[in-house]
Amino acid sequence: MPDFYVLFVVLVALGFDFINGFHDAANSIATVVSTRVLPPRAAVVWAAFFNFIAAVGTGTLVASTIGKGIVDPSVITPNLIFAALVGAIVWNLITWYYGLPSSSSHALIGGLAGAAIAKAGLGSLLWLTPGPNWLVWKGILGISIYIVVSPLLGFGLGLLFMAVTGRLCWSQRPGVVDTWFRRLQLLSAAVYSYSHGSNDAQKTMGIISALLVASGMGYLTHAAGIQEIPGHLQSGPERSLVLVTKDGNRYPILPSAEAEAKTKGKVDKDVVLVGSLETAADGRQSLKIDDHLAWWIILACHGAISFGTYFGGWRIVKTMGSKITKLAPFGGFCAETGGGVTILLMSHFGIPVSTTHTITGAIVGVGSARRLSAVRWGVAARVVWAWVLTIPAAATVAALTYLPFRIWGS
């Protein structure tokens, strides 16, 4: 595959990331704008800044789930990635035009699934794979569980924060409460925007990583000092493991949970291990199993989503900020905090959730805490229908985009 075509698809992926931020800007700023805590332009600058600094300290587990946990890596090609991105971008633009807060994350997942099915059938999808513990499952079915869980958790936390903070502030004058929560909403908006960047930017990282690996350029995905080392995995003394390379070098593998997971069931087999070489005082080298995405990928993806947030999809702000329920600074703080905590929790476990679903659930929870009639359930139902259609619609567009490549045999 020509290098310029791979570069083109990388740019398309960053374009999707920009549109993700553009489309999902409403998630980050709708509450803080609708409560008039910040004017629109200041709000998008605030949100974009925290989208970007999420590049530091949030890890890359979500990127790994997107790149390796939805489609069998063996069927991924640059053409498949391109078709998946087209499916996600087209659906994002359609829902933006109609002012519907659909999920960019699920559009991308649907695009990947649709393109993979068009190429290799249903067997190319990873349906259910274990995560880091028994609570977390990945694959299409595993992610589908969190399609339901994340807005419910956002709803529950939004409701909980409303109840707790309402109890703490019940004896205060309304003017004092309003003043305090106008200040606190700056903090909650920052938390939510940081969480949005921590989850959504990683999805494009996973796509770019999968693209480069499929193109034979996997070495570009690793941070400085991390390398791919082929060799034969052997048992060492006291249950230790040693990687023996073709040129006769022997690298004892430093014990860690990551090393155990990456070498399980591979003893006496030829493997390619990813990690860094650490040199002891006596000059001997050991292999530390580790991987970290290259900083150029991380910063490019966070930069693209931040610019998208800055330019903002204003059509969706009104739906999120005022059509579902009327928000005051007190409620805006609770909704943003509930949504932000939910997303950060999911990012910690590497689960690519919908930030749109989560904040919408939190807003509905805040409205319900006042009274059920405070929520415009007709608008909420319209939003839910956009959610339901997102994955199949993006999958259909991606499958149709991939068909010419299939006809050409690529």
Quick: pLDDT tens for 161-187: 988 888 888 878 878 887 888 888 889
Q: Are residues 57 and 124 in the same domain?
A: yes
The answer on pLDDT for 9 being more than 90 is yes
Q: Are residues 233 and 193 in the same domain?
A: no
Q: Are residues 34 and 151 in the same domain?
A: yes
Are 139 and 126 in contact, with CB atoms under 8 Å apart? yes
Q: Are residues 147 and 246 in the same domain?
A: no
CA distance 309 to 51: 8
Q: Token digits for 255?
A: 């014990």
Domain boundary among 240, 273, 289: 289
The mean pLDDT of 202-228, rounded to a whole number, is: 92
CA distance 11 to 14: 5
Q: Give the per-residue pLDDT at 231.
A: 94
pTM value > 0.75 = yes
Domain boundary among 246, 264, 289: 289
Q: Are residues 18 and 114 in the same domain?
A: yes
Are 270 and 230 in contact, with CB atoms under 8 Å apart? yes
- Per-residue model confidence as pLDDT tens digits over 45-57: 898 999 999 998 7
The answer on pLDDT for 314 being more than 80 is no
Q: Are residues 53 and 67 in the same domain?
A: yes
Helices 104-120, 3-34: inter-axial angle, 10-degree rounding: 150
Domain encompassing residue 259: 224-289
Q: Are residues 243 and 154 in the same domain?
A: no
- Per-residue model confidence as pLDDT tens digits over 276-309: 999 988 888 999 998 889 999 999 999 999 999 8
Q: Give the per-residue pLDDT at 409.
A: 66
More confident residue, 250 or 103: 250
Domain boundary among 289, 324, 345: 289
Q: Are residues 75 and 93 in the same domain?
A: yes
| Cα three-residue angle 197-200-206, rounded to 5 degrees | 120
Number of domains in the chain: 2
Q: Are residues 145 and 44 in the same domain?
A: yes
The answer on pLDDT for 375 being more than 70 is no
Q: Are residues 242 and 302 in the same domain?
A: no
CATH at 241 = 2.40.50
Question: DSSP assignment, residue 129?
Answer: E
Q: Are residues 92 and 239 in the same domain?
A: no
What are the beta bridge partners of residue 271? 231
Q: Are residues 278 and 170 in the same domain?
A: no
- Of the candidates 278, 293, 287, the one whose C-alpha atom is nearest the C-alpha of residue 230 is 287
